[in-house]
Structure 1
């Protein structure tokens, strides 16, 4: 009898130990799940809600648009064409950090892409041209720009060593690299419920290259009946892994926002 009670006690201890281990494992799994879920939530959280978005109106101040800069011819100091602006690199501080210039080749074949600091480019809007203090030969000798995923870069503007204009121009690079402007165009904008609410049509830039507004197209079908809305750029959150943009407003809120109209697409 005593022997049976002893065996029963051992069995009870083993059972309790097993249950405790399972409960502990479930608690750890729950904590890990909540941690992952919270991380995902933070990663996909946009910078505001529809209630505090200061929509831009038709007369919103801006100096130029991103699409007008793209394909703009690039000339040297003598006025000779040496390339074209192919894309813009936006920094983590919501400014155009670099212009990606296409040089060489013929009809888009055999050309080379190089990055030039935006601050070293003179934009002449009236003539639709960009001026840099480099020759075509110097551009062709520069390191080739290759698009890299943002996740593999960890640059911050304050970590970049000081350089004079000549060194910046000849060195190239993509310090403080956040995302290519082209990647933002025609990418779905979704709300917090993962419903599509629009697409980015263009970016409005200040004179010093700061991205002030994203122009969002909402509504319509096949390009007909759509409405453009100027959304403060900091309210748009790019999710690069899934190639979508997050905006914490509903489609109805976008449709009720003031309509934006370009000034002759300048």
Structure 2
């Protein structure tokens, strides 16, 4: 089965990690550092995007709802429908904060900030 954009539904996490991510302007904003899984619902909580020095976040990471990432074959990476300004103002976390409280705090803040319908409701 395929997604609406014609891609297959399944992909190994090892192929996703390290993939570049671009914003709506087509600028590279970083890469996928990890994928957080919801063990109770068998879903993907969010992608952990490392923005590196691009946004001056240092060791901070962003939790981006998985449903907002769209793979672009021409770019060889994922595109998120957010501007540079939206991403700069987004909640940022350390790895410890992303995994604390089972990741729910970062997940909830991310879905609320990006106005994405929660998959767990």
TM tier relative to shorter chain: 0.5 to 0.7
Match of 2:99 in 1: 148
Q: C-alpha deviations, 1:70-114, integer Å up to 9, x for none?
A: 1111111221111211110101222222101111427xx824201
Do the aligned partners of residues 143 and 74 (structure 1) sit closer, same or farther apart at CA in structure 2, a change above 3 Å counting?
same
**Secondary structure of the corresponding residue to residue 116 of structure 2:** helix
Listed as ranges, the gaps of 5+ residues in structure 2 are 1-7
**Secondary structure of the corresponding residue to residue 93 of structure 1:** coil
Q: C-alpha deviations, 1:50-82, integer Å up to 9, x for none?
A: xxxxxxxxxxx9632101111111111221111
Per the TM alignment, residue 165 of structure 1 is displaced from its structure 2 partner at its CA by 8.9
Q: Is the 8 A contact 1:90 1:96 kept in 2?
A: yes
Per the TM alignment, residue 130 of structure 1 is displaced from its structure 2 partner at its CA by 0.5
Once residues 144 and 100 of structure 1 are traced to their aligned partners in structure 2, the CA distance between those partners, rounded to angstroms, is 10
Per the TM alignment, residue 125 of structure 1 is displaced from its structure 2 partner at its CA by 5.0
Listed as ranges, the gaps of 5+ residues in structure 1 are 1-60, 170-174, 177-266
**Secondary structure of the corresponding residue to residue 168 of structure 1:** coil
Task: Please give the TM-score of this superposition, normalised by the length of structure 1.
Answer: 0.32
Do the aligned partners of residues 143 and 164 (structure 1) sit closer, same or farther apart at CA in structure 2, a change above 3 Å counting?
closer
**Secondary structure of the corresponding residue to residue 87 of structure 2:** helix
Match of 1:120 in 2: 68
How many pairs align?
Answer: 101
Do the aligned partners of residues 154 and 62 (structure 1) sit closer, same or farther apart at CA in structure 2, a change above 3 Å counting?
closer
Task: Please give the TM-score of this superposition, normalised by the length of structure 2.
Answer: 0.64
Report matched runs for 1:214-229 at 5 Å.
Answer: none
Q: CA RMSD in A?
A: 3.4
Q: C-alpha deviations, 1:214-238, integer Å up to 9, x for none?
A: xxxxxxxxxxxxxxxxxxxxxxxxx
Per the TM alignment, residue 127 of structure 1 is displaced from its structure 2 partner at its CA by 4.0
Q: Please point out which of 31, 35, 40 is paired with 1:84.
A: 31
Q: Which has the larger radius of gyration?
A: 1
Q: Please point out which of 11, 27, 47 is paired with 1:99.
A: 47
